[in-house]
């Protein structure tokens, strides 16, 4: 009996040891499964994070480009006349012409034509003008207009040398018919008028 008892104790010991090994193996297997699962999740999340970081970088670049574009639009918009700047330009026009020894014989304004549907709308204001002066001064005056801070587009240009027209210095003067288009941000309809602000 003592031998059977030892065999039974030994069998119980080995059964408990096998059960413990199965439990320990299952525990470590489960923990290994969890670690592998967490590593896969971490890798997935890392990939998503990298993609979101890349998207954020693209968004930042797009935001910078947008700011740059908005600044360019603002600068371009500032190149158009508004009612006030056109009024001051026209008030000083004869002074500038005199600076270049140019005589303004006549000036007429056409009807406004909408160019852009902004707020306020950008409209083209056609202007026809007859001026006279020496050829060199006419070229300088036109150069001034072409370089003006606001858009002044020169359309038709016709120069004739008229011997009857004398400049103030007694030299032959050239008569020039010229048409411009002033681009102005205005709420005026039909004919341009100063909105007064």
CA-CA distance, 159 to 177, in Å (whole number)?
A: 7
Tokens standing for residue 197 = 């602000």
| SS3 state of residue 107 | strand
pTM of this structure: 0.60
Question: 182 near 124, Cβ under 8 Å?
Answer: yes
Tokens encoding 18: 């096998």
Angle between helices 135-146 and 83-99 (to 10 degrees): 160
How many CB atoms lie under 10 A from the CB of residue 10?
10
pLDDT tens for the 197 residues of the chain, in order: 677 777 788 788 888 888 888 888 888 888 888 889 889 998 999 999 899 899 988 889 989 999 998 898 888 888 888 888 888 888 888 899 999 999 888 888 889 988 888 888 888 889 898 888 888 888 898 889 889 898 888 887 777 765 444 444 445 567 888 888 888 888 888 777 665 44
Burial pattern 74-92, b for ≥16 Cβ within 10 A else e, equals eeeeeebbbbebbbebbee
Looking up tokens 């009857």 gives 164
| Distance, CA of 138 to CA of 100 (rounded, Å) | 8
What stretches of 103-152 show up as alpha helix (H) in DSSP? 135-146
* Distance from C-alpha of 90 to C-alpha of 102, rounded to nearest angstrom: 15
Determine contact, residues 194/117, Cβ cutoff 8 Å.
no
């Amino acid at each position: 009996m003592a031998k059977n008892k030892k065999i039974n104790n030994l069998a119980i010991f080995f059964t408990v040891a096998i059960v413990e090994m199965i439990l320990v193996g299952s525990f470590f297997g489960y923990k290994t499964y969890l670690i592998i699962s967490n590593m896969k999740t971490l890798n997935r999340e890392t990939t998503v994070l990298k993609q979101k970081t890349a998207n954020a970088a693209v968004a930042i670049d797009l935001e910078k480009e947008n700011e740059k574009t908005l600044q360019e639009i603002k600068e371009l918009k500032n190149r158009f006349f508004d009612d006030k700047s056109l009024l001051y330009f026209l008030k000083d026009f004869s002074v500038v012409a005199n600076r270049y020894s140019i005589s303004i014989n006549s000036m007429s304004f056409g009807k406004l034509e909408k160019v852009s549907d902004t707020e306020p709308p950008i409209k083209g204001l056609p202007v026809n003008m007859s001026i006279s002066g020496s050829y060199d001064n006419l070229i300088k005056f036109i150069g001034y207009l072409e370089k003006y801070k606001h858009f002044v587009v020169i359309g038709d240009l016709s120069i004739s040398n008229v011997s009857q027209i004398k400049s103030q210095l007694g030299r032959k003067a050239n008569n020039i018919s010229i048409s411009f288009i002033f681009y102005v941000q205005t709420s005026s309809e039909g004919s341009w008028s100063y909105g007064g602000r």
